[in-house]
Structure 1
Amino acid sequence: MATVTQNQARRGRGVVLDDHLPVDHRLRRVYRSGAGLMGAFLIMFGILGLIDRIGFFSTSGGMVMGLGGNGALSVASLLVGGLLLAGAVIGGNTASTVNITLGVAFLAAGFAGLAVLDTRFNVFAFHLQNVFFSFVTGLLLMTFGMYGRVSGSLPHDNPYWRSRHPRG
């Protein structure tokens, strides 16, 4: 039987996101601040939504900070805000990965919310403002997470370029 190379062994493990990324670099503040600001906003929205005592699965919901919502959306906002704040506290590549992942989730939630507007399946009581908020938040989180990490022409002093080209 042939010897398994290191690359073949790695392929068997599945996707590994952060193996090639530098652990500590100057862009960590961008990742942390983006996650922290969005997390704090979502936690504030969730707390105000729970204080308002809107029905938990009410499809009409109520307005909180200019956005439609209900108890379920408030709890979901608290959970996601907590994840973002945890990413901000941990920092570095974890904050970047959390930002990117939740950014994609916010975009998906925006499309899902748009699909169920004014139907009985609108369990988070989304309004059009929520859809726009989800799209903008998703794009901002993805931008914060990908800043300096994803580009076709990274400068040679970028820590991601250096980690991918150790002899360059």
Structure 2
Amino acid sequence: MNVRDELPVDHRLSLVYRIGAALCGAILLAFGCLGFADQLGFFTTEGARIGGLSTNGLLSLISVVVGAVLVGAASIGGNLASTVNITVGCLFVLSGFVHLFMIDKAVNILDFSMSNVVFSFVMGLLITTFGMYGRVSGGLPHDNPYWRRRHPGQVAREDSRAAAPATALTRR
């Protein structure tokens, strides 16, 4: 099964995944590039701040890499963009929890502060929401490609019911 099997090529949900990935990726790329522009030390924990967030060279590098992954997924689109959004978003939330316990400890090599933790939670939830939009819900409409993929028996019954009146009309 191919990554693109579930979603039609030009489905409107692909646009949501692409916009979400591109928007969040651009924010991360800007943050990382500003960190590099300030020539921050790679492992410094001196409290350099960019946009209200503490940072260092390593966090700038991670931000640029993750931002590039999101922008790359946005350029490809489809299920790949959705899956990358979900994965990256969950990793952001997990990072927020991990760094919450690392604040003011020697192992805090990314120089996370409480504002960084809150940013990780908010960005993670935003990216995950973009990735799950129209894909995960109990109330998906029956024309949704994900619902149709998960309920092939019911799709066949509904399609045969929809085709039955048309067939009866053509026989007359």
Query: Considering the TM-score relative to the shorter chain, is it more than 0.5?
Result: yes
Q: Which amino acid aligns with 1:86?
A: G
Runs (5+) with no aligned partner, structure 1: 1-15
Write out per-residue CA displacement over residues 31-71 of structure 1, whole angstroms, 9 at most, x where no aligned residue: 00000000001001001001112221012330011111000
Match of 1:81 among 49, 64, 67: 67
* TM-score, reference length from structure 1: 0.86
- The answer to whether residue 112 in structure 2 is matched with residue 126 in structure 1 is yes
Match of 1:55 among 25, 41, 55: 41
Q: How many pairs align?
A: 153
**Which structure dedicates a bigger proportion of its chain to helix?**
2
Partner of 1:115: 101
Runs (5+) with no aligned partner, structure 2: 159-172
Rg comparison, structure with higher value: 2
Match of 1:104 among 90, 102, 109: 90
Match of 2:132 among 133, 146, 149: 146
The CA distance in 2 between the partners of 1:118 and 1:60, in whole Å, is 12
Q: Which amino acid aligns with 2:12?
A: R
- The answer to whether residue 66 in structure 2 is matched with residue 66 in structure 1 is no
Q: For residues 82 and 55 of structure 1, do their structure 2 counterparts lie closer, same or farther at Cα, with a shift above 3 Å needed?
A: same
- The answer to whether residue 7 in structure 2 is matched with residue 22 in structure 1 is yes
The CA distance in 2 between the partners of 1:153 and 1:55, in whole Å, is 49
Q: For residues 152 and 18 of structure 1, do their structure 2 counterparts lie closer, same or farther at Cα, with a shift above 3 Å needed?
A: farther
* TM-score, reference length from structure 2: 0.84
